[in-house]
Amino acid sequence: MTAELASIPIGVIVERRKSSSPWIDFVWRPVAVLSGEPDTPPWSPLSNDGDKTTFYAGGAEIKLYRTETTNYRDNLAAEAGLWVVLRPTGGEPPYALFTVTADPAEGEAFTEAGTDLVEQVPMPQSVRDIVAAFVAEHHVERVFYKQTRGERDAVARRMQKGTGRDDE
């Protein structure tokens, strides 16, 4: 993957709620992202009302790549938000903040592992403004070119010959 051109520091708020399930004690989920990284130690409790406790899970950076501007643009248009990925630790705290992304395709890809906790949270306006400015500066519209069957067959024949070259 290419190197990021910009990164946005953020902080993540996670909620722990008592579960009604007999198999687990608590349900964890990311609930918010803060613009900027506060000077608070990771996993500091922020509030507790008996059944629900919120924690500052820690800081992360949203990395922006020039090649992903179409995904960022679509995300902004849909007002989808950010994807927060927590990875199980097997200890205390039970999750580690793995990443936060503004790319919906990347966020969805993290759900495939099956062990990560992936939640979509609202994007703060200041982060939205930075992502929108990044898209405005770096987005290049790419024309979709659909090959004809003849073109696909010609490529396949060249690949079967092992050269992939046109001059044979």
Predicted pLDDT at 1: 52
116 Cβ neighbours under 8 A, 6+ residues apart: 85, 86, 87, 88, 98, 110
Instruction: Find the mean pLDDT for residues 109-128.
Output: 93
DSSP string for 78-146? HT--EEEEEEE-SSSSSEEEEEEES-HHHHHHHGGGSSSEEEEEPPPHHHHHHHHHHHHHH-------P
The DSSP element (H or E) to which 168 belongs, if any, is none
**Residue 83: C-alpha distances to residues 39, 66, 107, 163 (Å):** 22, 19, 5, 42
CA-based max dimension of the chain:
75
Instruction: Assess whether pLDDT exceeds 70 at residue 145.
Output: no
Confidence of residue 164 (pLDDT cuts 50, 70, 90): low
52 Cβ neighbours under 8 A, 6+ residues apart: 15, 16, 17, 18
Contact 17, 31 (CB under 8 A): no
Confidence of residue 5 (pLDDT cuts 50, 70, 90): confident
Beta bridge partners of 13: 32, 56
Confidence of residue 143 (pLDDT cuts 50, 70, 90): low
Statement: the pTM of the whole predicted model exceeds 0.85: no
Give the strands of the sheet with 52-64, arranged side by side.
26-35, 6-18, 52-64, 44-48
Instruction: Assess whether pLDDT exceeds 60 at residue 163.
Output: no
Q: pLDDT by residue (tens digit) across 90-109?
A: 999 999 999 999 999 999 99
Which of 42, 147, 152, 29 has the alpha carbon at shortest distance from 86? 29
Instruction: Assess whether pLDDT exceeds 60 at residue 166.
Output: no
